[in-house]
Structure 1
Amino acid sequence: MLEIPKFYESFLSKVSSVNLNSPRQLKKVAEIVAAMSEYFTRKNLRKEFVFYDYLSNGEVQKGYLVYFTTTNLLKVYVPLNEISHSGFFRGKKKLEILDIGTGLGTVVMGTIIWMHENIRYFRNTEVKFVALDKVEQNIRKFQENLEFFLNDLRNHYPETIKVEVEPAIFDIEHAFEMFDKRFDLITVANTLNEVVYEKRNKLLRLINSGIKDDGFVILIEPALMITSRDLLDFRDKMIKQGFYIYSPCLRNSNCPALETDKDWCHTEVEWKRPEFIRQIDLVAKNYRKTLKFSYIVATKKDMNLIDFVAGERNFKDYFRVVSQLIVEKGKKHCFVCNEIGRLHCVKLDRVDSPQNQIFDEIDRYEIITMKNFVKSDKEIKITQETEVKKVLNNEGKI
């Protein structure tokens, strides 16, 4: 289960000027959050809201900082955990990271925390972030908060990493003029949905020109149907530009969820919800009991997560679970995905056996392996002889 580190709440209270133990102050924040959530989730309101520089408003910025930064902070852990299986972080003297659409610094802070939680990879590494955002107020607020964040972080962890952060204002129209270098890691979170469709090719061009040949790109978007499908569409465009999908997909061809107009793909990870988030949820009626989001990890090298966690390239017997497990009378079923396609997987209760019993415990976005199953069209039938094993959990851990 993912958990916010203890120092983060005191840091957040300090930079937001909100007492996170005060129901009265949290109620005010919750009212802002409720209004923002309405704009984020309603299709007819969302487009107008996200293309407006909403974080330039002081009250909106406070609500976003307290609530949405907290609920988004840990999402980057999952793709970082999955990348770590490749050995990418081991032995690097310098790690250069470009964060596009930094906002108030959610991904930068989340990545720095993850690195300290995984200090074994970074003891001898100098880490430099270049943090880009088009809104000057966002960059200014991030710079103000960053010093407090790094000081509190150093007081919390007994062993720390050398970190440098260079914030910058950028416009995607002129971003190509800003860099004559490439980065080991590029992160783009909650940003694609705020780039008008006509300019997304420019974002892809920036990513393509900015990533090293052996680097990784992480894209994270909300788990809403429209934002997730936009991410999957961008995923397919990346493949056409020569990228390989490292995770979560166990295929490098087109996304089968886009073959219909009703499917999409996202993960759902358990977390220890902070008490102040629970109180905001009660008023705002958001109920963030789990963290839901869509993500893609891409690279220029022909490599896939399964190569490392299974020890082989096998897109036939390994599957990503892409739905919740649905329990009905007499059966359990879910959707799984790999090179074969997006498949409906069904297990009748009457075929229960020691070999397949783990199927009853699977969660969305885990990787499982199945052998001796029966496939017909777009369905997999589990028999008494089918062997089902978990390979990776939905936090990206073996």
Structure 2
Amino acid sequence: MLEVPKFYENFLAKVSDVNLNSPRQLKKVAEIVSAMSEYFTRKNLRKEFVFYDYLSNGEVQKGYLVYFTTTNLLKVHVPLNEISYSGFFKGKNKFEILDIGTGLGTVVMGTIIWMHENIRYFKNVEVKFVALDKVEQNIRKFQDNLDIFLNELKNHYRQTIKISVEPAIFDIEHAFEMFHKRFDLITVANTLNEVAYEKRNKLLRLINAGIKDDGFVILIEPALMITSRDLLDFRDKMLKHGFYIYSPCLRNLNCPALETEKDWCHTEVEWKRPEFIRQIDLVSGNYRKTLKFSYIVASKRDVNLIDCIVGERNFKDYFRVVSQLIVEKGKKHCYLCNELGRFHCVKLDRVNSPQNEVFDEIERYEIIEMKNFEKSGKEIKIKPDTQIEKVLGNEGQSFR
């Protein structure tokens, strides 16, 4: 289960000037969060709101910092966990990361926390972030907050990493003039949906020009249908520009969720919800009991997560679970996806057996191995002799 480290709450209280143990102060934050959520989730309001520099407003910034930064902080840990199976983080002396659309620094701070939780990869590594944002106030606030964050972090971990951060104003129209180098890792979180559709090709060109041949790109977006489908559309564009999908997909073909107008794809992972987030949820009407988001990890190399965790390229016996498990009278069913397509998978109670019983416990975005199943069109039927095994959990932890 993902958990926000305790030092982060100390940092948050200092930079937001909010007492996280005060119900009265949290109620005020919750009112801001409630209004922001309305703008983020309602299609007719969202576009106007996200293209407006909403974080330049002091009260909005406070609500975002306390609530949305916290609920987004750990999401990058899932793709980083999955990348770690490739051996990517081993044996480096210097590691350079470009974060596009930094905002108040959510992904940068989340990545720094992950690195300290996985210190074995970074003991003698110099880590440099280049943090880009289009709003100067965001960059300034991030710079002010970062020193406090790193000081609190040093009091929490016995060993710390040598980290430097170079902030810069991000202008996508002239971004290509800013860099004459490439990066090991590029992160783009909650940013694609704030880039006008006609400018997304420029964002893709920037990513393509900025990533090293052996590097990885992480894109994260909200789990809303419109933002998830936008990410899947961007994913397919990346394939046309010579990228390969590392995860979560077990395929390098176009996304089958885009073949209809109603499908989309996102994960849902458990976390230990901080008490102050629970109190804000009660007032605002939000319920962040789990973390829901969509993500894509891509590379210029033809490498996939399945290669690394099972030792071979197998896109036919392994599936990503892309829905919750639906339990109905006499059956259980869900949706699975791999190179063969997106399938509705059904298991009738009368075919229960020791070989297939693990199906009753699968969760969204786990990877499973399945053999001896019956396929007909877009339907998969589980038989008594169908063999099912969990391979990877939705937080990126191996079951093997």
TM-score, L = length of structure 1: 1.00
Corresponding position of 1:313: 313
Q: Deviations over 1:22-52 (max 9, x none)?
A: 0000000000000000000000000000000
Whether 1:357 and 2:349 are equivalent positions in the alignment is no
SS at structure 1 position matched to 2:272: coil
Helix, strand or coil for the counterpart of 2:63? Answer: helix
Q: Which amino acid aligns with 1:111?
A: T
Amino acid at match of 1:156: H
Q: Shift of residue 311 of structure 1? A: 1.0
- Residue in structure 2 matched with residue 232 of structure 1 by the alignment: 232
Matches within 5 A, 1:289-368: 289-368=289-368
2:197 maps to amino acid:
Y
Letter aligned with residue 85 of structure 1: Y
Question: Counterpart of 2:3 in 1: which secondary structure?
Answer: coil
**Equivalent-residue separation in structure 2 for 1:396 and 1:234 (angstroms):** 23
Report the secondary structure of 2:355's partner residue: coil
How far residue 384 of structure 1 moved from its aligned partner, in angstroms, is: 0.5
Residue 70 of structure 2 is matched in structure 1 by 70
Unaligned runs of 5+ in 2: none
C-alpha distance in 2, partners of 1:282/1:250?
A: 38
> In 1, Cα distance between the equivalents of 2:25 and 2:342?
46
Q: In structure 1, how many angstroms separate the alpha carbons of the residues matched to 2:19 and 2:64?
A: 15
- The 5-angstrom pairing of residues 267-306 of structure 1 reads 267-306=267-306
In structure 1, what is the equivalent of residue 375 of structure 2?
375
C-alpha distance in structure 1 between counterparts of 2:170 and 2:240, whole Å = 26
Does 1:246 pair with 2:246? Answer: yes
SS at match of 1:193: helix
Instruction: Report deviation, 1:397.
Output: 1.1
Q: Secondary structure at the match of 2:4?
A: coil
Unaligned runs of 5+ in 1: none
> Which AA in structure 1 matches 2:255?
C
Counterpart CA distance in 1 for 2:137 and 2:256 is 40
What is the letter of the counterpart of residue 357 of structure 2? Answer: Q
Aligned-partner Cα distance in 1 for 2:259–2:170: 35
Paired with 1:161 and 1:224, the residues of 2 have a C-alpha distance of 35
Which position in structure 2 is the counterpart of 1:39?
A: 39
- For residues 318-342 of structure 1, give each alpha carbon's deviation from its aligned partner in whole angstroms, at most 9, with x where no partner exists: 0000000000000000000000000
- In structure 1, the partner of 2:208 is 208
1:150 to partner: Cα distance = 0.3
Counterpart of 1:235, as a letter, is R
Partner of 2:124: 124
Matched residue SS, 2:13: helix
Q: CA deviation at 1:124?
A: 1.2
| CA deviations over 1:173-224 (Å, ceiling 9, x no partner) | 0110000000000000000000000000000000000000000000000000
Matched letter for residue 298 of structure 1: A
Corresponding pairs, count: 398
Residue aligned with 1:271, SS: strand
Please state how far the C-alpha of 1:365 moved relative to its aligned partner: 0.1
Where does structure 1 differ by over 4 angstroms across 4 or more consecutive aligned residues?
none
CA distance in 1, matches of 2:325, 2:309: 23
How far 1:276 moved relative to its partner?
Answer: 0.1
Normalised by the length of structure 2, the TM-score is 0.99
C-alpha distance in 1, partners of 2:201/2:335?
31
Please report how far the alpha carbon of residue 310 of structure 1 lies from its aligned counterpart in structure 2 after TM superposition.
1.1
1:170 Cα offset (Å)? 1.6
| Matches for 1:93-108 after TM superposition, within 5 Å | 93-108=93-108
Amino acid at match of 2:325: L
Displacement of 1:366 after TM fit? 0.2
Give the Cα–Cα distance (whole angstroms) in 1 for the partners of residues 311 and 170 of structure 2.
41
Separation in 2, partners of 1:360, 1:326: 10
